[in-house]
Amino acid sequence: MKRTLAVWFQNRFSAIPRITGLFSGRGFVLESICIGSETEDGLTRLTLTTRGDDSLIERIVKQLHRLIDVIQVVDLTGAPSVERELALIKVQSPNRTQREIVQLAEVFRGRIVDMGARSVTVEVTGRSDKIDAAIDRFKPFGVIEVSRTGTAALKRDEACEKAGRAVVVGMV
Amino acid sequence: MNVKATPKAAAVSAAAAKSGAEILIQSLIDEGTDTIFGYPGGVLLGIYDVLYRTPELKHILVRHEQGAAHAADGYARVTGKPGVVLVTSGPGATNTVTGIATAYMDSVPLVVLTGQVSSTAIGQDAFQEADIVGITRPITKHSYLIRDVEKIQETIAEAFHIAATGRPGPVLIDLPVDVMRATGSYKPESCVSLPGYQPRDTGNPPQIEKAARLLSTAERPVIYAGGGVITAEASTELTLLARTLNAPVATTLLGLGAFPETDPLSLGMLGMHGQWTANTAVAECDVLLAVGARFDDRVTGRLDRFATKARVIHIDMDPASISKVITAHVPIVGHARPILSALLETVTPLNTSAWLSQIAAWKKEHPAITQPTDKRLSAPDVLRQVADIMGHDTIVATDVGQNQMFAAQYWGFTRPRTLLSSGGLGTMGYGLPAAIGAAIGRPDCPVVCITGDGGFQMNIQELATAVHYGLPVLIVLLNNGYLGMVRQWQDLFFDKRYAHTDLDPGNPDFIRLAESFGAWAKRVTMADQVRPVIEAALEVVDCPRVIEFVVSREENVMPMVPAGAATTDMLESELIKGVRS
Ligand SMILES: Cc1ncc(C[n+]2csc(CCOP(=O)(O)OP(=O)(O)O)c2C)c(N)n1
């Protein structure tokens, strides 16, 4: 099952490779990772998606907590949350297909951010499955290149304490 | 926030200007460092120059950086204080990797200081540059690269704090040479502020009550104690709790000494080469109290057959160790000592006499016995005699293999911090340097190194260190001419196809070799010589002593749980039939 974790950490020396190294070193899946820049309170937020059942996710969360620079880990899976990913999709576009591509972009509420002689670049945001679908639909035109950010996620308001699986280890 | 002001530091006037190297050494002293295990090199010359002027800080010059890491590890295991290692950049740093991994696996506090090329040259493949932080990232609890001379003091304070608290472990600090040369200010006090690192000490009271209630229902309790009990200095509490509950105690390899093996409640070690009774008692128990142990695969064997009848209480400092392998019915995160104390206040004595007499019967029927395959000495016999002569305050450092398992089975440990062994990583070559570290950390205790002819050769250069500092370590070399433990597996599981495990053709004359280092050395081949030679060795007090016991070539360590088998499916010596009939 796909899981989304939010990790707050102090972005000190070597903190990011320590987090990602934990996934490769312990055989956990790291599907996507999205790291912001440091905020005023000195913390950096990282959102990652992985796969696993409850017990595996518990292990991942506990291992993340062992890292000295990690302050908090929250499992957003199942909690009412907003998840977004941004993708830039460069599609082959001779003149005759341009209109169709623009229309298709509209279906996905995408924006045209670049238009050249041979290609059009579309910006799409949404949940990962929507992005997957968009890329699929552009494929027949010829997708030249895709750049995806990975998932960024936030809990919805008022859901915070109640429904969220805020896993704060050390409380057992 | 944890503000520490040491008397020494306070004496220095506020913010004195010093070089980075001076601040480093002063900060180490402030943290209570009395000994550094090190080896110099180009980028360390400035630091060594400060050491030259700081005779109160002892420096042990090892002969290989792996030796420095293991010696610091041995020092840490016997004293409970972090061991400090100082090595040069590049090859000096990479030579410590096995030692760091060994300490990491066994939760031993180390502070490893590695020299580094100038911060301006990092990343340019400079001479003797290695990304040691990257190389050791998965085997350190934390690591630092100091780029600012003003950060040295707080980094050292943090490193010691992280290494020694919570679940201890190695912390590495990379020290670029230009930062050591730079001038900075030394402040009379330093503080540690780590919002992401708040190890929990006392356990959660409702969980402790739950554990006490579960224990009160037990008819067949077993306590399974690991190295965490020793780290937490909780042996006394463990012993009292076991006696109150009338619960037998099995320990892991690293837990040996946490509970006196002379106590009738002791089951000895459990696991792959554990006692038959210890493994069987765990399989049959109804409540298993695991303390400071992590259900290692060498302990559990086949998981779906491990302690299947038991409700499990698991006390551990590291939340990540709980329910990692075996689901705990009652998890308790925290230090073993306050938790065991709290349990002691809550539990009521149990009547387990039926259980204990069952255990006594098993012990009688299933002792650990072995079978020499020739007329040479039997390693267990030798070790029993050494243990008998040396006494209970002796510190034993083992190597890895048969010698290690024989030591675990036959020594009879009664006190915490008296066994040093590489349990998690299983590092051959650990024994001798660890014994050196122990002899330096506890000069008041006799120190024995139990080793094999393979492992001894892996760090034999450290004999020079022991000679250099006049350390009277007693080295018990059990020479079977084989990589014994590997040969045992080939014997049992590969039809005696001894592929590349015979060392005999190339083995040196260990006596002449040891003597050439300046050690005292004797070979023993006859049973009646064992005791007199050990006694003669003990007369020598100012240098290492090597006794080579020429032991049976193919004596196997028994009992044994084959890899992947259930712990109740143990192989035992053929001779066991004689015991039972
Ligand atoms: C550094 C290292 N290399 C290889 C091994 C694998 N290994 C485990 S036990 C063993 C044999 C040890 O032989 P020896 O030191 O003679 O001790 P014995 O088993 O004969 O007592 C080997 C090779 C290891 N544990 N460590």
SS (H, E, C) B241-264: HHHHHCCCEEECCCCCCCCCCCCC
Q: Which of A65, A68, A73, A171 to mutate to test the interface with B (most CBs of B within 10 A)?
A: A68
C-alpha dist (Å) from residue B305 to B9, B308, B309: 56, 6, 9
Report d(CA B330, CA B210) in Å as an integer. Answer: 7
User: Would you state the pLDDT for residue B579?
Assistant: 77
User: Could you write out the DSSP letters of every residue in B421-479?
Assistant: ---SS--TT-HHHHHHHHHHH-TTS-EEEEEEHHHHHHSTTHHHHHHHTT---EEEEEE
Q: Which amino acid, B358?
A: Q
> CB distance A170–B200 less than 8 Å?
yes
Q: Length of chain A in residues, anyone?
A: 172
Tokens representing residue B270 in the block: 């459990």
**B476 CA distance to ligand 1 centroid (A)?**
16
**pLDDT score of A77:** 87
Residue of A nearest to B158 (CA): A68
Distance from CA of A12 to the nearest CA of B (A): 9
Residues of chain A neighbouring B324 (CB-CB closer than 8 A): 59, 62
Reported confidence tier of residue B10, pLDDT bands at 50, 70, 90? very low
Q: Which of B298, B300, B279, B288 is nearest to B362 (CA)?
A: B279
Tell me the β-bridge partners of B38: B61, B86
pLDDT of residue B5: 46
User: Is residue B518 within 8 Å of residue B546, measured between CB atoms?
Assistant: no
Q: How many CB atoms are closer than 10 A to CB A143?
A: 17
Considering Cα of A16, then A22, then A25, then A31, what sign does the dihedral take?
negative
Are B24 and B44 a contacting pair, CB within 8 Å? no
CA torsion, points B353, B358, B359, B365, in degrees to nearest 10?
150
Closest atom of ligand 1 to CA, residue B453: 16
B195 touches chain A (CB under 8 A): yes
What CA–CA distances, in Å, run from B448 to B35, B337, B386, B420?
A: 21, 29, 9, 10
Pocket of ligand 1 (CB under 6 A): B 399-403, 426-429, 452-455, 478, 480, 482-486
CA of B463, closest CA in chain A: separation in Å?
Answer: 36
B15: left (phi over 0), alpha (psi -120 to 50) or beta: left
CA distance B237 to B342: 10
Residue nearest to atom 3 of ligand 1 (CA): B428
Q: Does pLDDT of B232 surpass 90?
A: yes
Measured in residues, chain B has a length of 581
Verify whether the Cβ–Cβ distance B145 to A14 is below 8 Å: yes
**pLDDT, mean of residues B194-218:** 95
Residues of A in contact with B143 (CB under 8 A): 13-14
Name beta bridge partners: A153.
Answer: A83
Burial of B84 (0-12, 13-18, 19+ CB in 10 A): buried
Q: What's the token pair of residue B509?
A: 């004359």
- Model confidence at B442: pLDDT above 80: yes
pLDDT at res. B6: 47
Q: Which residue has the tokens 């005779």?
A: B55
Cβ atoms < 10 Å from Cβ of B173: 22
Instruction: Say what the pLDDT of residue B574 is.
Output: 87
Of B192, B185, B189, B186, the C-alpha closest to B164 is B192
- Strands A111-115 vs A119-126: parallel, antiparallel or unpaired: antiparallel
pLDDT tier for residue B201 given thresholds of 50, 70 and 90: confident
Distances (CA, A) of B34 to A71, B59, B200: 34, 9, 29
Closest C-alpha to B398, from B279, B560, B254? B254
| Contact between residue B526 and residue B500 where contact means Cβ atoms under 8 Å apart | no
| Residue with CA closest to ligand 1 atom 24 | B428
Q: Which of B116, B140, B105, B142 is nearest to B41 (CA)?
A: B116
CA distance B264 to B102: 33
Query: What is the phi/psi pair of residue A118, to 5°?
Result: -115, -10
B190 band by pLDDT with thresholds 50, 70 and 90: confident
Query: Cα–Cα distance between A71 and B197 in angstroms, integer?
Result: 8
Cβ neighbours for B522, distance < 8 A, ≥ 6 positions apart: B511, B533, B536, B537, B546, B547, B548
How far apart, in whole angstroms, are the C-alpha atoms of residue B83 and residue B168? 11
| Ligand 1 centre distance from Cα of residue B457 (Å) | 11
B457, pLDDT greater than 60: yes
Q: What is the chain B residue with the closest CA to A168?
A: B319
Q: What is the pLDDT of residue B14?
A: 56
Beta bridge partners of B522: B547
Residues of chain B found within 8 Å of residue A55, distances taken between Cβ atoms: 323
Checking if the pLDDT of B189 tops 90, the result is no
Give chain A positions within 8 Å (CB) of B195.
Answer: 10, 71
Question: Would you state the torsion angle of the CA atoms of residues A133, A137, A143, A146, taken in this order, to the nearest 10 degrees?
Answer: -20
CB contact under 8 A, A172 and B332: yes
* Closest CB to A21 among B137, B194, B198: B137
CB B525 within 8 A of CB B499: no
Instruction: State the Cα–Cα distance between residues B399 and B427, nearest whole angstrom.
Output: 7
pLDDT of residue A162: 40
The verdict on a CB contact (< 8 Å) between B196 and A67 is yes
A contact set with B (CB within 8 A)? 9-10, 13-14, 17-18, 21, 25, 55, 58-59, 62-63, 65-71, 169-172
pLDDT, mean of residues B381-398:
97
CA nearest B245: which of B237, B253, B235?
Answer: B237
Q: Which helix (H) or strand (E) holds B215?
A: helix B205-216
pLDDT at B7 over 50: no
Sign of the C-alpha dihedral computed for residues B282, B288, B290 and B294 taken in this order: positive
- For residues B167-173, average pLDDT: 98
Task: Write out the two tokens for B28.
Answer: 């180490």
* Nearest CB to B331 within list A25, A70, A172: A172
Query: For residue B519, how far is its CA from the centre of ligand 1 (angstroms)?
Result: 24
Whether B8 shows a pLDDT value over 60: the answer reads: no
Q: Which of B133, B144, B324 sits opposite A59 (nearest CB)?
A: B324
Rounded Cα–Cα distance for residues B460 and B431 (Å)? 10
Residue of B nearest to A70 (CA): B196
CB contact under 8 A, A69 and B207: no
B204 at the A interface (CB within 8 A)? yes
Domains of chain A: 2-75 (3.30.70.260), 82-152 (3.30.70.1150)
CA dihedral B318, B320, B323, B329 (to 10 degrees): 50
- Give residue A161's pLDDT: 44
ipTM for the whole predicted complex goes beyond 0.95:
no
B7 close to A (CB below 8 A): no
Confidence of residue B581 (pLDDT cuts 50, 70, 90): low
How near does any CA of chain A get to the CA of B139, in Å? 10
Percent of chain B at pLDDT > 90 equals 94
CA of B428 to the centre of ligand 1 (A): 6
Cα B528 to the center of its chain, rounded Å: 33
pLDDT digits (tens, 9 = 90+) for B243-291: 999 999 999 999 999 999 999 999 999 999 999 999 999 999 999 999 9
Mean pLDDT value of segment B409-419: 98
Tokens at A59, concatenated: 């292990």
Quick one: which of B577, B574, B568, B581 has its CA closest to B276? B568
Classified as helix, coil or strand, B2 is strand
Q: Which protein residue has the closest C-alpha to ligand 1 atom 8? A: B401
B578 — pLDDT class (breaks 50, 70, 90):
confident
Say yes or no for a CB contact (<8 Å) between B196 and A71.
yes
Question: Which residue type does B440 have?
Answer: I
- Show pLDDT as tens, one digit a residue, over chain A (172 residues): 899 999 999 999 999 999 999 999 999 999 999 999 888 889 999 999 999 999 999 999 999 999 999 999 999 988 888 999 999 999 999 888 899 999 999 999 999 999 998 999 999 999 999 999 999 999 999 999 999 999 999 988 864 444 334 444 333 2
What string of DSSP letters covers B394-436? Answer: -EEEE-SSHHHHHHHHHS---STT-EE---SS--TT-HHHHHH
Is B137 within 8 Å of chain A by CB? yes
Mean pLDDT of chain B: 95
One-letter amino acid of B576: I
Using a CB-CB cut-off of 8 Å, the residues of chain A touching B207 are 172
Q: How far apart are CA B464 and CA B577, in angstroms?
A: 47
> Among the atoms of ligand 1, which is closest to the Cα of residue B457?
15
Please state the rounded mean pLDDT for residues B510-530.
98
- Round the CA-based radius of gyration of chain A to a whole number and report it: 19
The structure's pTM equals 0.94
**A27 Rama class: left (phi>0) / alpha (psi -120 to 50) / beta:** left
Substitution target in A8, A13, A19, A44 with the highest count of B β-carbons within 10 Å is A13
Query: For atom 2 of ligand 1, which residue has the closest CA?
Result: B428
d(CA B88, CA B117): 9
Asked if A13 lies within 8 A of B145 by C-beta distance, the reply is yes
Secondary structure of B316-381 as H, E, C letters: ECCHHHCCCCCCCCEEEECCHHHHHHHHHHHCCCCCCHHHHHHHHHHHHHCCCCCCCCCCCECHHH
Q: Residues of B numbered 140-179 whose beta carbons fall under 8 angstroms of chain A's beta carbons: which are they?
A: 141-145, 162
Q: B77 and chain A: CB distance < 8 Å anywhere?
A: no
Rounded average pLDDT over B485-492: 98
Phi, psi of B87, rounded to the nearest 5 degrees: -140, 160
Closest-CA distance of chain B to residue A161, Å? 21
